[in-house]
Chain A
Amino acid sequence: MTLYVYLVAGWLLLVGSLGIVRSRDLVHTVVCLSVAQSGTYVLLIAVGYQRGATAPVFGSTTPPSENVVDPVVQAMTLTDIVVSATVTALLLALVIQIAKRHGTLDPDHLSSLKG
């Protein structure tokens, strides 16, 4: 189970990168980048999980105890999601500009991206 969970996180990173490399459309590239980044969410949350523990939110039915999953990695994942969303927005705005200026979104036809 341990290796399986972490391998899913690694798979998200690698399959997202594969999508970026194969991409024929910059919108597709941006979406694949967000898939690659979601690998880090799964890894962080998986590291903080504890079998049988509850969510790190206390209330009248769940008095404070140490038997909760790790809240620190959850806060990190929240930061990660916010940054991912804003970067995606910025990249999509750039894609719109590229489409206006060059009339194509295929990275292979954009001479400025040729390497």
Chain B
Amino acid sequence: MSRPARLVLFLVAAAGVAALLVVAFLDLPPFGSPFHPYRDRAVAAAVAHATANVVGSVTFDQRGLDTLVEETILLGSVAGAAALLRPSKEERENTTVPEGGRVLEATKLTGYLLLPVTLLVGIDVVVHGHLTPGGGFQGGVLLGTAVHLLYLTGHYRALDRVRPLPVFDSGEALGAAAFAALGIAGIIAAGAFLGNILPFGTFGELLSAGTVPVFNIAVGVEVASGVIVLLAKFLEQALRVQREAVS
């Protein structure tokens, strides 16, 4: 199909979709209205389980199965992307990953200074996920990105040393497995898949919300490992250069 014809076809279809969307939007509750029946039930359920961050409670305590499926999608996509980004045999023979080039001292310093700070913030976001905004996913992304700040310092080899990929490959699988294992423990101890098996504790304290913080840590490990593996594979592909071009 020619480009102009494709564009015309799209515009006709888009006009139809737009018209239907407007019709649907006109029937949605007005923006900012106080009518939120799901909110009322979710907040009551979260408070009953001593979870201060209601979003965390919805994610792990009330809709745990959705999150389990989501983490499985994550695991599958990372494994798929890692398999697609594996260097082919001839690439391994004809290319090499070089040591990083010269880097400004200021950039190096920024990388070294930011690394511990970002790691700490990441851990804090995971561990307090049931009390403050954040959780396993957000903290995991921070942790996974933080490790790659080392790349800013120009030491690709150093990055390789603090980032043993096999460890994170298994870390990802372990996080996902821990999630499922917690679900099965729920069947045994609480009578429901992903049911709460720990005491709820005092509202607002670090040890509260039952299994929610444990789920946060499992997801944090999985997501951090997943992000590290993904970025490492993309980085390796980006840095791979042909030997001839180097020598």
Q: How far is the CA of A73 from the CA of B37 in the complex (A)?
A: 12
What residues on A are CB-neighbors of B133 within 8 Å?
Answer: 55, 57
Which of A18, A57, A92, A93 is within 8 Å of B55, CB to CB?
A57
B106 at interface (Cβ–Cβ under 8 A)? no
A1 touches B31 (CB 8 A): yes
- Which residues in chain A, 50-92, are within 8 Å of chain B measured between CB atoms? 50-51, 53, 55-60, 64, 66, 68-75, 78-79, 82-83, 86-87, 89-90, 92
B58 at interface (Cβ–Cβ under 8 A)? yes
B166 at interface (Cβ–Cβ under 8 A)? no
Q: How many A-B residue pairs have CB under 8 A?
A: 157
Chain B 14-46, CB within 8 Å of chain A: the 1/0 string?
Answer: 100110011001101111111010111011001
Interface residue tally on B, bucketed by range: 35 or more
A10 touches B18 (CB 8 A): yes
What residues on B are CB-neighbors of A5 within 8 Å?
Answer: 31
A77 — nearest CB in chain B belongs to which residue?
B55
What residues on A are CB-neighbors of B96 within 8 Å?
Answer: none
A97 at interface (Cβ–Cβ under 8 A)? yes
Write the nearest CB–CB distance from B27 to chain A, whole angstroms: 10
Q: Evaluate whether A21 and B132 lie within 8 angstroms (CB atoms) in the complex, with A93-B85, A115-B1 already known.
A: no
Which of B42, B81, B132 is within 8 Å of A90, CB to CB?
B81
Write the nearest CB–CB distance from B182 to chain A, whole angstroms: 18
- Which residues in chain A, 15-63, are within 8 Å of chain B measured between CB atoms? 17-18, 21-22, 46-51, 53, 55-60
Q: How far is the CA of A51 from the CA of B29 in the complex (A)?
A: 13
- Which residues in chain B, 37-88, are within 8 Å of chain A measured between CB atoms? 38-40, 42-43, 46-47, 52-55, 57-59, 63, 66-67, 70, 73-74, 77-78, 80-82, 84-85, 88
**What 5 A-B pairs come out closest when comparing CB atoms?**
A86-B77, A51-B32, A93-B84, A56-B54, A6-B25
Chain A residues with a Cβ under 8 A of chain B: 1-3, 5-7, 10, 13-14, 17-18, 21-22, 46-51, 53, 55-60, 64, 66, 68-75, 78-79, 82-83, 86-87, 89-90, 92-94, 96-97, 100, 108, 115
Q: What are 16 inter-chain pairs, A to B, with CB distance below 8 A?
A: A3-B25, A17-B14, A47-B28, A55-B133, A57-B132, A59-B132, A68-B39, A70-B36, A71-B39, A71-B43, A75-B63, A79-B67, A82-B74, A86-B226, A90-B77, A93-B81
